[in-house]
Chains A and B, each alone.
Chain A
């Protein structure tokens, strides 16, 4: 266990250091969610005039729920890019040679993703509050909201690490981010699920991201819905993705 923590701590520190020492890496992960927030909450706010649309805290808060979870997922995705870059540069192979407990590598990258998102999530929250967002939920609901974000970040980071370790090239970038992007946008992003119609309603209804999104919006509104289901699904997703990431690591170990 000590050797695991030793490796995890070293990789996490390097991941965090690389992220925050390089503006080209940290800025996109902060700016992108802010633009999404501005574009969706600002540009689409008249969507709230659609008949039967009701969300007490307002459209900015409605979109904040999505953008917060999206930023947490992309915090994980961007970390996958860093893993792929480490394989391309040869650093990851040297790391595999020297790490006394290799599973600590995955944990380290995952911690790096979490730290990255905590900064992004805080910036997005401040921006939404400055834009006039009202949060009806109390302290416990906010903790729950960020708890959801942490789990989404974990699932996405483990997915991204797994893909990056299987493919071991920066060209894996599209494969890392596209499924995450699609799953997120096939949820009820712009209007509640009941206002969707056609194929998108059928897909969104069974999309696990919908449950997480509805739970997040419920917490913001101070009336939690589907919370237990959301946490259960995300924990299950985390367990599956940790197995996937572990297999990716094994694949990288075999490749030498």
Chain B
């Protein structure tokens, strides 16, 4: 049977069109909320400036890599920024749930996967902007990238992948709990994972045994070390494999669970 014009009009848009429409809305909304945009950009840089200088004496510890502490610390803003992306993405999604927008979408032929992918579009754009900014600030403050220009590109790719994984976590929290307050309540917990990692010192220089153990089992350590290796070491295959591996695992896990939670949210009655 040939499709009539009216049938074509009624046909649901293709998946990519659906993703594009939701992503456009997500990106527009993100950039309209400047207050939400500025804090995630500025706060990690502020901590970078303070800790980078305040902990400068750490490079005098025997065994510390032969680089400035700013070089060593530049990896941290990328991870902190990713945490903010998670909270922003989760809060935006939760607001759609709280406002009833999701329920209205459930009445349309929009596919859950398209909605999830589109919603994370805004988060990815923020991740791109902040990664470029952190890198630019790092270079401007005298940090050198040991792996060169290509390494800088790989660094950006890794940091965006990490942010994407955390954005998936934010989406999962929003879909599971349905309120922005609950998503924001997880922020301290996420932040703690950065503190309990090798963010401030290399793992072999952490003196306290339990802390070193926690940092060793904490995947965030490997995300940080993956980015850091490109800045201070050059091309370190093991650090990069672990960094990309954990970032990919985080993305796959969070998106799988978020996809399942999305199905429950969009149950058509």
Contact = CB atoms under 8 A, between A and B. Distances in A.
Interface of A: 24, 28, 31-32, 35-36, 38-39, 41-47, 49-51, 53, 171, 174, 182, 185-186, 188-191, 195-200
A190 B251 CA distance: 35
B104 to A, nearest CB: 27
Contact of B57 (A24, A41, A50, A185): A50
A43 B208 contact: yes
A58 to B, nearest CB: 11
The 7 A-B pairs of least Cβ separation, nearest first, read: A200-B53, A39-B195, A42-B211, A42-B208, A45-B207, A46-B207, A50-B57
B60 A50 contact: yes
Contacts of A199: 53
A189 B54 contact: yes
Given A35-B195, A42-B208, A47 B53 contact: no
Interface residues of B, number: 29
A182 B46 contact: yes
Chain A residues touching B, majority SS: helix
Nearest to A132: B208
A47 B58 contact: yes
B103 interface: no
Nearest to A188: B54
Given A45-B208, A190-B54, A200-B53, A35 B192 contact: yes
A254 B182 CA distance: 35
Nearest to B59: A50
A122 B81 CA distance: 33
Nearest to A39: B195
30 contacts: A24-B185, A28-B188, A31-B188, A35-B192, A38-B195, A38-B196, A39-B192, A41-B208, A42-B208, A43-B200, A43-B206, A43-B211, A45-B206, A45-B207, A45-B208, A46-B206, A49-B61, A51-B60, A174-B39, A182-B46, A185-B50, A186-B50, A189-B54, A191-B57, A196-B54, A197-B53, A197-B57, A199-B53, A200-B50, A200-B56
Contacts of A195: 57
Contacts of A28: 188
B240 interface: no
Given A39-B192, A174-B39, 13 more contacts: A35-B188, A35-B192, A35-B196, A38-B195, A42-B206, A44-B55, A45-B206, A46-B205, A47-B55, A49-B61, A171-B35, A196-B56, A197-B56
B268 to A, nearest CB: 34
B126 interface: no
A198 B142 CA distance: 14
B204 to A, nearest CB: 10
Given A24-B185, A35-B192, A186-B50, A47 B57 contact: yes
A46 B61 contact: yes
